[in-house]
Structure 1
Amino acid sequence: MPRDASLLVTYDYGSLPPVRLAQAAERNGCALVFVTAGSDHAREMTPALEMLGSVVDAAGLEASGIADRVKRFEPEGIVTFSEGRIAPTARLAHLLDLPYHRVEDVGAITKKDLQRERLRDRGVDSVRFCEVARVADVGDALARVGLPAIVKPTTGAASRHTVSVATEAECAEAVTRILADDRARTSSARTTAVVEELLVGRPVEHPWGDYLAVDCLATGDEVRPVFVTSKFALAEPYRERGGYGQASTVPAAELDAARDLACRAVHALGIRTGIADVELKLTADGPRVIEVNGRLGGWVDDLSVRSGSADPADIAVRAALGLPVEPPAVSSGDRLAFHYLVLPPMSAHRVRDVRPGLYALRDRPGVDRVSLSTHRGAVADWRAGTDGTVASVLGTADTHDQLADLVAEIEGADWIDYD
């Protein structure tokens, strides 16, 4: 690969910090070209992006116009780490003849109803589901899906508005919220909801979750596991509290089954280049697919690097450039890294007070970083999913018992009050 090779990055808020991406690009001898689309986040980050590579402002441009602007960089590859940029990336890749998700597969990769349909038709996993565009259609949807059910936006990330429902009235209320929330959109398409069968997890001990994620590398028809992110117990109703890895409390045989299912799901969706993230429910009958994300999963790079397991940023760059990639050994990693999110209770509406109590954890062995992401007077809303995080704690532990004790301390810390 020549030193002046370039990699296009269709950029917005996503799962890999630009600095980590730049480090991987430098190791692989390529320059970064960030293609931004005018979001508030992208505008705020532009000065930093300009320090790491070239920036092309694509706001208001069609794919053909963007292609014309970036051709002068003679890109060797293209990638995105933002859920909302997957479809534009596929269109741009098609125009530039660069390997990425095919345009005809993007619907199944990004829309939860089409994804369920594809996984069912390819014999990977079958879950009852129904897309709902009007509240008036809730009754018909439940007649097909049954109760209890899960309701979520058809597109989107961060578990926004995801909730279980036990009655038709609860389902109608959940659908109403989704249809009224423009923030749930990742494109100009109308907002819809998906009502689907509730997957019941097997019993697990607190603070561990009854689900996990497997990030997989696709190179042509071959799909191989890269990293398993084990999860903490969900905050009500269905909000992630982060994850840990590489070592898991999940039995080895169940992990093997999860890796196998994840790789089959990625292949079934037509993903042939790069890393995809698969969330799986651990049920009494084995792992089931929650959803597949056609990009690197959240926290995966951080957890992989700090646990000594893998370097997903490097893998993603090499895959996008068409360079040989060898995923890490399944059992790699000698440390237990964690990323724990503190979320407000469902009853909270606003942050009344913030005290320095949580910062005391900085002096605790195993804690590397404590970050607050809220302030007095800030809105607290469970509907925002993980975007409503009020704090995060990162670190490492030698054993799962040590990690469980630390989680108890984080949740027991007296530092925030809500109205």
Structure 2
Amino acid sequence: MIPVLERLGSVVNAAGRPESEVIEELRGLRPAGILTFSEFRIADTARLAAALGLRYHPTADLPAITRKDRQRERFARAGIDGVRFRTVTAPEDVDDAIAHVGLPAIVKPVLGASSRNTVAVSDADECRAMLTAVLEGRDDGPAETAVMLEELLIGRDTAAPWGDYIAVDCVADGDDVRPVFVTSKFALAPPFRERGGYGGHSVVPEVEVQAVRDLACRAVRALNIHGVADVEIKLTAEGPRVIEVNGRLGAWVDDLAVRSGTTDPADIAVKAALGRPYTVTATVPEHPVAFHYLIVPPMGARRVKAVHNVRALRELPHVDRVTVLAEPGESVDWRIGSRSNAAAVIGTVADHAELAATVAAIEDVDWIDYE
């Protein structure tokens, strides 16, 4: 990507260089703002911002922005949500965590993205086995240094293919937090793997979406985020509950927003970083509905055996693009979450009925074999 980026502007390559050296080179370019779209570069960006005198997430708030356990503590203090949890760093901590949190519960990394090592547990033996396996990286799975055992938020009954959760991307400048775009979700693949989303008009009634927007803005405000954030919210029978907040733009959000004719989140993010005025669209168009659907391997799959007939996916009505993400012979593992996705299918439909039919048609295509 570097040759492409150099055609667009100045590039400072930080690879293999001391941060102090990179800061000096950046200082010479007199930057006016700073921004990252990567979950794994939020802490680096905050340090650069502090050194260069640029506005971004305050370094003192980074633990609450990037660590799921610190987020829960902050939300509880702010009166936003009181989900029970315990941080587990060793197998001997498991029984204490179970006693505090109760069961069923969810296991998830304290630091992580893409649904890695995220799974529900229903009894004590299953919980002990899963937490121990995740901490020790058993069976060639990714190991975690710290894991949360968290109260399982039970989603309300939701008909397929729709998900029982929703995401809101927000822009924040101090206490001024505004919703930018709502990404409605498809039903999760077992155990907790995302199948993508759609927007701008949601199958969820607008009065409920407004409550979700309000809760998302409160959560972002509680974390003292500056710039953009992505908030995931569970739709429960008792009302919306915060799942987590990510201190960057959500996946596919800009694409969905632009293709649905709703707004331009990346443009808003850049303007916010530069301190320039931006406009947040208040109205949501009914049509079209843009979607980004992920084809997820079965939970028991371990390897891609063959890929064939991708053309059948591409020729489906309302499908604009298919990106195959898995090659024959490639390992797949539910424990690494979305990094094991088989394909991404992108398109636009007129309404939700058409979208439901399109999702069913996508899942019905025989194009990939697993071992």
TM (norm. structure 2) is: 0.96
1:231 aligns with 2:231: no
1:39-188 mapped onto 2 (5 Å cutoff): 45-181=1-137
* 8 Å contact kept, 2:317–2:358: no
Task: Write the distance in 1 (CA, Å) between the matches of 2:262 and 2:30.
Answer: 33
SS of residue paired to 1:56: coil
Q: Give CA-to-partner distance per residue, 1:173-202, whole Å, 9 cap, x none.
A: 3323433459969xxxx8210110000000
1:343 aligns with 2:296: yes
Task: Write the distance in 1 (CA, Å) between the matches of 2:313 and 2:343.
Answer: 12
1:19-418 mapped onto 2 (5 Å cutoff): 45-181=1-137, 191-271=145-225, 273-332=226-285, 334-356=287-309, 358-418=310-370
Q: Which runs of 5+ in 1 are unaligned?
A: 1-44
Task: Write the distance in 2 (CA, Å) between the matches of 1:198 and 1:373.
Answer: 30
Identical positions, percent: 58
1:58 deviation in Å? 2.1
Task: Write the distance in 1 (CA, Å) between the matches of 2:355 and 2:287.
Answer: 15
Q: Which runs of 5+ in 2 are unaligned?
A: none
Letter in 1 for 2:105: A
* 8 Å contact kept, 2:349–2:355: yes
Q: CA separation of 1:284/1:135 partners in 2, compared to 1, >3 Å: closer, same or farther? A: same
1:48 deviation in Å? 3.1
1:295 deviation in Å? 0.3
Task: Write the distance in 1 (CA, Å) between the matches of 2:253 and 2:96.
Answer: 38
Runs of 4+ deviating beyond 6 Å: 182-185
Task: Write the distance in 2 (CA, Å) between the matches of 1:308 and 1:47.
Answer: 31
Task: Write the distance in 2 (CA, Å) between the matches of 1:380 and 1:265.
Answer: 34
Letter in 2 for 1:269: L
* 8 Å contact kept, 1:148–1:166: yes
Task: Write the distance in 1 (CA, Å) between the matches of 2:279 and 2:205.
Answer: 25
Task: Report the count of equivalent residues.
Answer: 369
Task: Write the distance in 1 (CA, Å) between the matches of 2:232 and 2:355.
Answer: 22
Q: CA separation of 1:394/1:163 partners in 2, compared to 1, >3 Å: closer, same or farther? A: same
Letter in 1 for 2:249: L
Q: Give CA-to-partner distance per residue, 1:336-393, whole Å, 9 cap, x none.
A: 000000010011011111111x322323331110111112111011111111111111
SS of residue paired to 2:153: coil
TM (norm. structure 1) is: 0.85
1:262 deviation in Å? 0.1
1:115 deviation in Å? 0.4
